[in-house]
Structure 1
Amino acid sequence: MTDTTTTFRTATRVGDLTVEPVDPARHTPLLHQWLTHPASHYWEMGDLTTDQVRTYLTTLGTDDAQHGWLLRHDGHPIAYAETYDPARTVLHGLPPDILDHRTGDLGMHLLVAPPPPPPAPRLPGLTDAVMTTVMRFCFARTGRGALRVVVEPDARNTAIHAKNAAAGFRVLRDLDLPTEGHTKRARLSICTRDDFEASPLGDGTGPLSTEPAAHLRPALADAAHRHLAAKALAEFTHERLLLPVPAREGDAAGRETTHDEPREYVLELDAAPARVTYRFTARRYPLEHWVIDEAGLRRTRTGPDGTARPAPIDALELVAELQPLLNVPEDLLPVYLEELSSTLAGAMAKRERETLGTTPSAPGLVDALAAPDVAAAFQAVESAMTEGHPGFVANNGRIGFSLSDYRAYAPERAGRLRLLWLAARREHTHLSLGAGETEPGLYGTPSSAGELSGAERAAFATRLTARGLDPDDYLYLPVHPWQWEHRVAITFAADVARHDLVPLGPGADEYTPQQSIRTLFNTTRPHRHYVKVATAIQNMGFLRGLSPRYMRGTPAVNDWVADLVTGDDTLRRAGFGVLRELAAIGYTGDAYHRTRADNPYRKMLAALWRESPLPRLAEGERVASMAGLLHRDASGTALATSLIQASGLDPHQWVRSYLDAYLYPLVHCLLAHDLAFMPHGENLVLVLRDHVVTRAFMKDIGEETAVLGPRALPAPVERVRALVPDDEKALAVFTDVFDGVLRHLSGILAADGVLPTRRFWTLVGEVVDRHRDEHPGVAARHGRGLGVDLRAETFAHSCLNRLQLRDTRQMVDLTDQASSLIYAGRLTNPIGVTVPA
């Protein structure tokens, strides 16, 4: 939220002008003179008394949707301005075809002081300077941080129309606006930052012309803070780290209370030297899921004098205030705050891009999924997603990315990059290939294209030969350009100098980063493979590297899983498939592999290739990451809701089709094969036809697959075995599917009035029961109290944020993830059935 207590200063053609908050106690007499002057008749305040003006200004000062400002020139008052939230005040309720209210919109009223009495002249150029100052103040990060300024002057006020035009305003239309006691004919107009800078008054000398991070603006920050604070309150409550209490006496206060209608809650915190109180409205759904109204979130601070004062919503301050409850180690709290800060910065940039129309809205994504360009639609959804992981609060840490790195490589920027290719000396490098793959087939042959074109292979061979090196002594290893710039050329300087690693330059194909950042989609040749590379940035509790040692067995694990899936009649009928990681490469010739203990530097030079889903699509099918189902655009419109509406199906039919494609195969893999995946949104690619999910592909098989039973496994696949008791096996569905995905989706559909949670979870139960009825042999091993019982009354509450709060550097031991988990009691299973006594 913008600070309304400081002075804004800017240089104009007539000298410096300042903007300061209006003080009713000091400024009322002056503003009474101005507002009641005949020259101010369009303000319609000519009959107000001094006390009435004071009351008006005081009311303005206590309303967080409106503010009054005094402008000075050389210390002398020369103008009065008001800024306001148009969606909450003057223009509230206007339909979208008149004004599409957007985050970052700011309304503005302006009154230049009446001219001095003759013979004193008005300073030439003063009104232009006043308008320039007000517009800079509205747009500047140190001012109001607006993205668009909206005005609605009286249609008869030709003087202000001319001034608005000079500042870059575009007239939308004339309309009748209700005011106190009558209707005003107003000229609705808008001005963007670009409009103003290109206008005669936007002369390029203002703060916008040199602002290096335009997305870090108050209006965007307020929205980002509110979203992240609301998510933090909801998820930390879900993980039983805190419990807000009902504001209304008599409302149920238990953790498992549910209600579809919004109710008010209060959270009081002792945050010395002040007591902090949060108030908000929320809906509460099964699995202790809270949906908090971000716009209505309020914070007050009660100081030593006992006075409660409004305070801005600040997600970083919230975490600091919650520290006694969160128990983040003191030495790691700054690291967590840094990841949270990066998440906030990313949220501001994402919101700005959508507000400016660079990123499609949810309905726009639905339209894209109906367009003929399948690859473009796939990547449009991928880059539009704003949430990151739905459960983790600090989910876009990306520690290590600079601002320019963010612009170049963040998935929501939808930029294109070219991989840098290294020749890695063969004796220090291992290339693992899946079934049917060969080295020439992967890289390409003179007669067939591979990951490299013939021209690239010829150029790379020539560059090696020119250095006196034999191309046959090397394998080709792709690296992210960030990794080359920040790691390979510095951290592995000795390896480059001795020609164990030889930089060959960028490849020809362009790639777009996926939500996981280090996974890249081939935009130039969409039917070619994904590439996953090591990127040594810290994100969501892990350094995002790739282990060459671990990569050795990855294709074999993928082959085994793919053979199991394709050989299972149930999975084939469900259309369930996996996107194989069919080749992997890793370099181990560096000194970091000579140390006794494992270390992050061993995970900086590896890559793998994964199948693209596009060659496996039929005519009329489209694909989208499942994470997109949890996406809400800047206006709050959910992609899942938009897809259901566009499909024309009843919501329960749409959800049933989705559950048949997603949940049913996962249940079968677990119960029939003891096979568990990490089935969060980014690891599933959904196939849609006519906006309905019909089948799904699982990906990220090598790192996030586990066999939870004693079945026989080939030696290279043995690494994925994790023998756990049956109730822990069930968490592969309870935690990763019910709590990790379906909890959020059911909350979206319920809050949107699309499908009540009771009906949603009934459908989930029906899918589980259908699998039982269709597989009696499997059901005999798993049922009420036997084996893996997905209808159990409760299950262990595994908490993700607690893991990150405990250790922001590495949340879990990847070699023994089960023992790293943190539990907070048990959750009531929303499809649980009481076992008869």
Structure 2
Amino acid sequence: MTWEIANRNLIAKAISELFYEEILSDVVKQANENTFTLDINGEVIYRFHAFKGIWGDLVVKPDTLRRCDGRKPDAALFFKETQYLTKMSDITLANFIEEMQHTLYSDQIMLQKSVSVNALYQMDSLGIESRLNGHPKLILNKGRIGWTPCDLSAFAPENARETQFLRVAIMKSLLTINCQQNKSFENIITADLAESEINYLQFLCKKNNIDYHSYYIVPVHVWQWEHKIQLFFQKDINCKNIVLLDRAGDRYKPHVSIRTFSNCQNRLALDIKLPISILNTSCVRGIPVRYISIASEISEGIESILRQDAVFVSANTDCLKDVAAFSYVPSDYIDIKSAPYRYKEFLGAVWREPSSSKLGSDERCLMTGSLSFLDQNCKSLIGLLIEKSKLSVEQWLKQYFSKVVLPLYHLQSRYGIGLVAHGQNTLLKLKNNTPSGLIIKDFQGDLRLNQNLPPVTREKFSEKVLNRLDYLPSGHIIYDLITGHFVSVLRFISQSLYISHRFKEAQFYQLLGSVIAEYEKNYPTQAGVPSLLTPSLQRVLLNKVRFEIGYQDSVQRPKPLLGSPLENPLVNRESAYG
């Protein structure tokens, strides 16, 4: 039964996102107020209940989805039937179906682990992450190509199993490292090891005839060692530049992002981000060397801005600093300039402050992406939080927009810093179930600068940092907020709130628009950053990228595409459910 439900749910999601990306817009027709048909090539018709979202997507009710020929929902068949619309080549389609099978396998596990929103509310932030369904925009959000079912059982976040990392000795002279000033890199990377374990690992170094003083003992994910490091670093292993020691240290659980882990035994200990070179969603999940040497400096600069600006202070905005990092590129690949990015991201780590270190005694936090969670009874997590807060929906949302959206906007318009503010790297602080602040994190690749960078920002970062980061035109950097947070987070929150509490999307965005308008009166946008209240916005496409580029290697991670303009719902607030 879960197989049929997983297929049906995936088709429903595909219809919604492909309609948004204008791939199905010409073949979907509205039969009446809430009934739609999808006519595929004049041969196959799907019928379903849905409503038109204010962002131009269709919100499909999965359990109403039917094929008019009576056949059970089959996601592979659906993507083959719509190939003439997605324009995937046969080679891309075959790979896409492989990724789909991986997604369906994990979707079934998620269905078997479904929980009520009340049960979810009782969990801590890491427990909540283990019950989330993955990226809301990407159709295939749990592809994880490279992992077997046994790997999924051991390492996938939905299984919430604890893991202990391998410890590997690597010659110090080989590593690119970074560490906060006045802190010891060696102390940070061994902080989760007991003294007896450090002694044991040093004993193993001596047993392997290496001087441990010349090596760093670093953590490595067991899957990464077995499937990548042993193969691609054979030269280093054979000459003892790299020496496998043993499993050691505290036990960790993965975040929904797969690569980031929190310490189970000490929640105030640093999180660790490790490469796990599987294809998941848009790219292979390694650790890019490009940002390693400036990791802590980026964090320090961001924190300095947050602490000195009254807007951030009053909104209780924090960041999780990257306190140490290392990377090592295989010697056989380091001088191949245009090698696919994945070959240069096999070995590394980032140590980051945990979210618990940024919370008051009466605060908790959760990913903003978790707010749109809907249980099987169509009860939403955001709705439950609002009910428990004793605030009205409008009061609660105004707090959210003031504590989350305005600081992100201020960071862009005042400082020219764009953070791709998706549902994983923006954490909502809650006090008495009411929004009380924001935590931002993950500045390696998800942080970009305005090409017209204000002097107030330049003085916060060294030339080394400024030269290493990506830059965007002034008119583009705003989409790190519009696409990253509005379309990829708020779109699903507003729809969940409508489904669970019948709070209309038009009201949701009217309130957001009024909060932003009030902010802009006091803080006019600078450095050429356009207003969030501009009448039309660019439609950024994610799924279509995979259809066009396929699954072949690339030097850099894939970039999004653009569709036709969107009417800005913060300004144009009419919709079918407006």
Q: TM-score range by the shorter chain?
A: over 0.9
Distance 2:375 2:467 in 1: 41
Tell me the residue number matched to 1:416: 162
Tell me the residue number matched to 2:202: 461
Compared CA separation, residues 456 and 431, structure 1 to 2 (3 A) = farther
**Would you say 1:490 and 2:231 are equivalent positions?**
yes
Of the three residues 356, 359, 365, the one matched with 1:623 is 365
Tell me the residue number matched to 1:298: 66
* Equivalence map 1:259-658=2 (5 Å): 263-270=34-41, 275-300=43-68, 309-354=69-114, 360-368=115-123, 377-385=124-132, 387-443=133-189, 450-588=191-329, 590-599=331-340, 600-658=342-400
Distance 2:325 2:99 in 1: 30
Q: What SS does the corresponding residue of 1:333 show, helix, strand or coil? A: helix
* Equivalence map 1:177-326=2 (5 Å): 219-243=1-25, 244-248=27-31, 263-270=34-41, 275-300=43-68, 309-326=69-86
Compared CA separation, residues 744 and 722, structure 1 to 2 (3 A) = same
What's the CA shift for 1:826? 0.1
Residues 541 and 807 in structure 1, CA contact (< 8 A), matched pair in contact too? no
Residues 708 and 721 in structure 1, CA contact (< 8 A), matched pair in contact too? no
Deviates more, 1:410-419 or 1:282-291: 282-291
What's the CA shift for 1:731? 1.8
* Unmatched tracts of structure 2, length 5 or more: 574-578
What's the CA shift for 1:567? 2.1
What's the CA shift for 1:723? 4.4
What's the CA shift for 1:686? 1.6
- Aligned residue identity for 2:198: R
Distance 2:302 2:234 in 1: 39
What's the CA shift for 1:299? 0.8
Higher relative contact order (CA closer than 8 Å, sequence separation 6+): 2
**Would you say 1:684 and 2:426 are equivalent positions?**
yes
Of the three residues 717, 725, 745, the one matched with 2:493 is 745
> Bigger radius of gyration, 1 or 2?
1
Tell me the residue number matched to 1:829: 568
- How many residues get paired? 565
What's the CA shift for 1:829? 0.2
Tell me the residue number matched to 2:541: 799
Compared CA separation, residues 616 and 730, structure 1 to 2 (3 A) = closer
- Aligned residue identity for 1:459: Y
Distance 1:720 1:242 in 2: 40
Distance 1:270 1:491 in 2: 47
Q: What SS does the corresponding residue of 1:379 show, helix, strand or coil? A: helix
TM-score (ref. length: structure 1) = 0.65
Distance 2:555 2:520 in 1: 34
- Aligned residue identity for 1:418: Q
Residues 201 and 245 in structure 2, CA contact (< 8 A), matched pair in contact too? yes
Distance 1:678 1:364 in 2: 30
- Aligned residue identity for 1:353: K
Residues 383 and 501 in structure 2, CA contact (< 8 A), matched pair in contact too? no
Distance 1:596 1:825 in 2: 35
- Aligned residue identity for 2:45: T
* Unmatched tracts of structure 1, length 5 or more: 1-218, 252-261, 301-308, 355-359, 369-376, 445-449
Compared CA separation, residues 435 and 703, structure 1 to 2 (3 A) = farther
CA displacement 1:770-807 (0-9 Å, x = unmatched)? 211332xx34x48xxx7412111101111111122223
CA displacement 1:243-280 (0-9 Å, x = unmatched)? 244453xx6xxxxxxxxxx5111111128xxx111111
Residues 477 and 585 in structure 1, CA contact (< 8 A), matched pair in contact too? no
RMSD of the TM alignment (CA)?
2.1
Distance 2:265 2:533 in 1: 47
Distance 1:245 1:617 in 2: 47
CA displacement 1:620-679 (0-9 Å, x = unmatched)? 211212221122234433222222222222111111111122101011011101111011
Distance 2:205 2:544 in 1: 50
Q: What SS does the corresponding residue of 2:41 show, helix, strand or coil? A: strand
- Aligned residue identity for 2:118: P
What's the CA shift for 1:352? 0.9
Compared CA separation, residues 787 and 380, structure 1 to 2 (3 A) = closer
What's the CA shift for 1:473? 0.9
Residues 519 and 533 in structure 1, CA contact (< 8 A), matched pair in contact too? yes
Tell me the residue number matched to 1:28: none
State the percentage of identical aligned residues.
24
Compared CA separation, residues 433 and 247, structure 1 to 2 (3 A) = closer
Compared CA separation, residues 559 and 702, structure 1 to 2 (3 A) = farther
Residues 535 and 545 in structure 1, CA contact (< 8 A), matched pair in contact too? yes
Residues 339 and 555 in structure 2, CA contact (< 8 A), matched pair in contact too? no
Q: What SS does the corresponding residue of 1:311 show, helix, strand or coil? A: coil
Distance 2:439 2:147 in 1: 31
TM-score (ref. length: structure 2) = 0.93
Residues 239 and 824 in structure 1, CA contact (< 8 A), matched pair in contact too? yes
Of the three residues 662, 673, 689, the one matched with 2:404 is 662
Deviates more, 1:632-641 or 1:331-340: 632-641
CA displacement 1:556-575 (0-9 Å, x = unmatched)? 22222222222222111111
Compared CA separation, residues 655 and 319, structure 1 to 2 (3 A) = same
What's the CA shift for 1:596? 4.6
Distance 2:73 2:466 in 1: 50
* Equivalence map 1:134-149=2 (5 Å): none
Compared CA separation, residues 791 and 595, structure 1 to 2 (3 A) = closer
Residues 796 and 827 in structure 1, CA contact (< 8 A), matched pair in contact too? yes
What's the CA shift for 1:477? 2.1
Distance 2:345 2:166 in 1: 17
Tell me the residue number matched to 1:74: none
Distance 1:549 1:670 in 2: 23
* Equivalence map 1:708-727=2 (5 Å): 708-711=450-453, 712=458, 713-719=461-467, 721-727=469-475
Compared CA separation, residues 234 and 723, structure 1 to 2 (3 A) = same
CA displacement 1:456-482 (0-9 Å, x = unmatched)? 221111110122210111112211111
- Aligned residue identity for 2:517: D
- Aligned residue identity for 1:276: V
